[in-house]
Amino acid sequence: MAKSDNEGTVIRHHLGHYVVQTADRVVMCALSTRLRKQLEYPEAAPGSRRRRVQSVRRVRVIDPVAVGDRVVFSEGADNRGMIREVCPRSNKVSRRASGGSYREQLLATNVDQVVPIVSADEPVPDWILLDRMLGIAEWQQISVALCLNKLDLADEAWADRVMRPYRAMGYPVVYTSIISDVGKEAFYDLLRGKITLFMGASGVGKSSLLNWLQPGLQLRTGPISKATGEGIHTTTHTELVALDRGGFVGDMPGVREFYLYDISPEDIPVLFRDFHPYLGGCRFRDCAHVHEPNCAVRTAVDDGDIALQRYESYMRLRERP
Ligand SMILES: Nc1nc2c(ncn2[C@@H]2O[C@H](COP(=O)(O)OP(=O)(O)OP(=O)(O)O)[C@@H](O)[C@H]2O)c(=O)[nH]1
Ligand SMILES: [Mg+2]
Ligand SMILES: [Zn+2]
């Protein structure tokens, strides 16, 4: 029987159990079938740029409780508990789940910032993937800082060149290398006092960076496959890690795609910060910035004020959000 009601933060989800951290202990919680069903009802994303009424049947979430969720639970014996309630979220980072059905996959909730990580070497940077990660954060209006890792394997002039458009948009950028020990203090400054989610493809070094930032942590890391030049999907569960220097960081499994969930093509332009100065300047109010004459966005691309690579990402996201 339950002893008392308590509140805590979900720091990990593993094999049907949610690991909940309270002020003084860790409790392994389950989620009742009844609450699971209730939570699977759609909700307009809090803080999202548009709140929309959705059809119950159309929308489904794979797992309704995510790392970062504040939950109320009742506690039984042996540090085991049952989640009774999920507290309202300040935001959620989610993507469209892979597979055939149109479902949402929550990656984390209640985060202060998102740090997309790109590797300067293998796996080679996927700029569209980066722009999708940025889009997910922009949709929820979550702060973003970028990390370019494995700088020991790259030339700094190249790094400056590829990061220039992102710096120009106002995103802070940190260069890191766990091999040459570059960027640690700047990273601590970025993370201190905040709840951050590391995002990125498998093998970019999310877990390695955390081990480097928090000595003694020992998260599992894996090699880059010689055959594919990509990571081998070492991390299998999202986990929130506390840093001694302050702050919490969510390490997540690397994914191949960040398809946007419940975002339609007309919503895409606002997710591109570098488009903002030009939105509203087109001849047609409903300009899609594709073929229309007198399009301010396309003029900015032609003039080099918007990077062509970003415009190409935009076109890809429009075709397939
Ligand atoms: N040269 C170099 N290698 C690095 C650096 N950071 C990470 N690596 C290597 O990159 C590989 C992948 O690192 P992981 O930390 O497992 O990558 P991950 O992003 O956590 O990957 P998943 O868990 O699969 O999503 C490992 O072999 C690391 O040693 C770096 O700064 N420089
Ligand atoms: Mg990992
Ligand atoms: Zn236009």
Which of 3.40.50.2020, 1.10.3720.10, 2.60.120.260, 2.40.50.140 is the CATH number of 5-97?
2.40.50.140
CA 176 – CA 219 distance, rounded (Å): 18
Find out if CATH 1.10.40.50 is the number for domain 265-319: yes
pLDDT of residue 56: 44
Global pTM reads 0.93
Residue with tokens 């059809």: 55
What is the domain class of 109-251 according to CATH? alpha beta
- Other CB atoms within a 10 A radius of the CB of residue 274 amount to 20
Residues 6+ apart with CB under 8 A from 298: 289, 311
CA 141 – CA 156 distance, rounded (Å): 30
- Nearest residue to 33 (alpha-carbon basis) of 81, 72, 82: 82
Q: What is the DSSP string of 263-316?
A: --GGGSGGG-GGGGGGTT-SSSTT--SSS-SS-HHHHHHHTTSS-HHHHHHHHH
CA 217 – CA 206 distance, rounded (Å): 13
Residues 6+ apart with CB under 8 A from 126: 118, 201
In ligand 1, the atom with minimum distance to the C-alpha of 233 is 24
| Shortest-distance Cα residue to atom 8 of ligand 1 | 205
**In the structure, which protein residues have their CB atom closer than 6 angstroms to any atom of ligand 1?**
149-150, 152-153, 177-179, 200, 202-208, 221-224, 231, 233-235, 253-254
pLDDT of residue 233: 97
Contact between 176 and 147 (Cβ < 8 Å): yes
- The list of the chain residues with pLDDT below 70 reads 1-5, 41-59
pLDDT digits (tens, 9 = 90+) for 122-154: 999 999 999 999 999 999 999 999 999 999 999
Q: What is the DSSP string of 236-247?
A: -S-EEEE-TTS-
**Which numbered ligand comes closest to the C-alpha of 275?**
3
Phi, psi of 261 (to 5 degrees): -105, 130
CA 166 – CA 274 distance, rounded (Å): 9
pLDDT of residue 6: 93
| Shortest-distance Cα residue to atom 24 of ligand 1 | 233
CA 1 – CA 4 distance, rounded (Å): 9
How many angstroms separate the alpha carbon of residue 123 from the centre of ligand 3? 34
What residue ranges in the chain does DSSP mark as E strands?
5-14, 17-21, 26-31, 70-75, 80-86, 92-96, 104-109, 113-119, 143-144, 146-149, 173-175, 195-199, 239-242, 248-251
**Which numbered ligand comes closest to the C-alpha of 297?**
3
Number of helical H runs and strand E runs in the chain: 7, 14
109-251 matches 265-319 in fold: no
**Which numbered ligand comes closest to the C-alpha of 174?**
1
Domain boundaries, the chain: 5-97, 109-251, 265-319
Q: Tokens standing for 277?
A: 């100065």
How many angstroms separate the alpha carbon of residue 207 from the centre of ligand 1? 7
3-state secondary structure 61-82: ECCCCCCCCEEEEEECCCCEEE
pLDDT of residue 50: 55
CA 116 – CA 136 distance, rounded (Å): 11
